[in-house]
Amino acid sequence: YRISPWAKYVTREGDNVNYDWTHWDPEHPYKFKHSKPKKPKGPRIYESHVGISSYEGKIASYKHFTCNVLPRIKDLGYNCIQLMAIMEHAYYASFGY
């Protein structure tokens, strides 16, 4: 069971270990009272896993990551990426550790 990496809000019922993606689309978008803070000059590290970067719930490719995820990471203001476990391994959920 996977949640989309594009999920902006997740909830969990009671003692359930699974979280569910909640799509929230208000009639009137929130209007911010203050401007966005300036981006820091130091490193901002985004940790990502290429294989679970697809919103389709399947194992993603490097091409998918390059075309769909990297631009979003850049737009968010990150300037460093830490890729998690890029080697193949027998048990997918372990990330190879």
Assess if residue 15 is contained within a domain: no
Position of tokens 């978008």?
29
Q: Is the pLDDT of residue 96 over 60?
A: no
Assess if residue 1 is contained within a domain: no
pLDDT the model gives residue 86: 67
Domain that holds residue 65: 39-97
Assess if residue 94 is contained within a domain: yes
Assess if residue 54 is contained within a domain: yes
Assess if residue 78 is contained within a domain: yes
Q: What percent of the chain has pLDDT above 90?
A: 19
Assess if residue 70 is contained within a domain: yes
**Residue 20 β-bridge partners:** 11
Assess if residue 9 is contained within a domain: no
Per DSSP, the residues of the chain read: ----TT-S-EE--TT-S--EE-----SS----SSPPPPPPSS--EEEE-GGG--TTSSPPPHHHIIIIIHHHHHHTT--EEEE---S--S-GGGTT-
Q: How many domains does the chain have?
A: 1
Rg (CA), the chain: 16
Assess if residue 13 is contained within a domain: no
Whole-number average pLDDT of the chain = 82
Q: Is the pLDDT of residue 81 over 80?
A: yes
> Is the pLDDT higher at 5 or at 96?
5
> What's the pLDDT tens digit per position in 12-58?
888 888 888 887 788 998 899 999 888 778 899 999 888 777 777 77
